[in-house]
Amino acid sequence: MRYDADNHLYYTDDMTPVKSVTQILKDNNLGPNYDEIKKRDPDALEYARNRGECVNKAVDLYDNCSLNIDDLNSEIKLYLDQWILFKKEYEVEVIDSQRIVYNEEHAYCGTYDKKCYMKRIKDTCIIELKCTSSRPKSHRWQAAAYRMADKADSAIVLYLTKEKFKVYEVLPEHEEIFLAAALLSKVRGNR
């Protein structure tokens, strides 16, 4: 798979375009309407996007033992602290991060945040990290799509805030909804 980061587009090796998970959700009006949010408060949206990227980067560096915590921004450190607490409480061992996955049968791609082994439940799990107070179901549909593409045992959405973390389990119904959305996109020719 190939990924054009500037345009958030995925391609097969022969350069055939493949819909992303987030594009499928957007095509079916199943995710947050960022265009509307951007119109209302562009600075807040940009701040939240940057914060999410910084938290994800800090978490990845921490997991790779290459983060100098003393150099970390104090706000981002609070989110990282919640990741560390989550890992300890759920006995998490990170297997992989930021991996592109492709579901050929349903013709979609995406990049998950984490694949972990959860020792407590003896399960491989896709973890979608979010640093927002809103908790739309679309986040679970997104994680469900990554789980199906990767064939991990389970998936969760992990919400990190400065004060706590919250885990939302992905259920079979979340997978069914995403697959219906993928089929609708395919039938409409939204490829």
In the structure, how many helices (H) and strands (E) does the chain have?
A: 6, 8
pLDDT, averaged across the chain: 92
Q: Residues 125, 21: contact at Cβ < 8 Å?
A: no
Query: Domains in the chain, ordered, with CATH?
Result: 2-188 (3.90.320)
Share of the chain above pLDDT 70, in %: 99
Q: How far is CA 55 from the centre of its chain?
A: 13
Rounded to whole angstroms, the Cα distance separating 19 from 92 reads 31
Per-residue pLDDT, 191: 46
Taking 70 as the threshold, does the pLDDT of residue 60 lie above it? yes
151, burial (CB in 10 Å: exposed 0-12, middle 13-18, buried 19+): exposed
User: Tens of pLDDT along 63-121?
Assistant: 999 999 999 999 999 999 999 999 999 999 999 999 999 999 999 999 999 999 998 87
Nearest in space to 186 (alpha carbons), one of 137, 32, 140, 178:
178
Confidence of residue 155 (pLDDT cuts 50, 70, 90): very high
> What digits encode the pLDDT tens for the residues 15-30?
999 999 999 999 999 9
| pLDDT in the model for residue 190 | 53
pTM: 0.92
Contact yes or no for 147/156 (Cβ under 8 A): no
- Mean pLDDT value of segment 56-67: 95
Alpha-carbon span 83 to 93, nearest angstrom? 12
Report pLDDT for 133: 82
Is the confidence at residue 138, as pLDDT, over 60?
Answer: yes
Q: CA-CA distance, 151 to 70, in Å (whole number)?
A: 37
Q: Quick check: 36 pLDDT over 90?
A: no
Q: If you search the block for the tokens 């009006």, which residue do you land on?
A: 29
Percent of the chain with pLDDT over 90: 73
Tell me how far apart the alpha carbons of residues 29 and 184 are, in angstroms, rounded to a whole number: 11
Q: CA 98, 8, 53, 112 torsion: positive or negative? A: negative
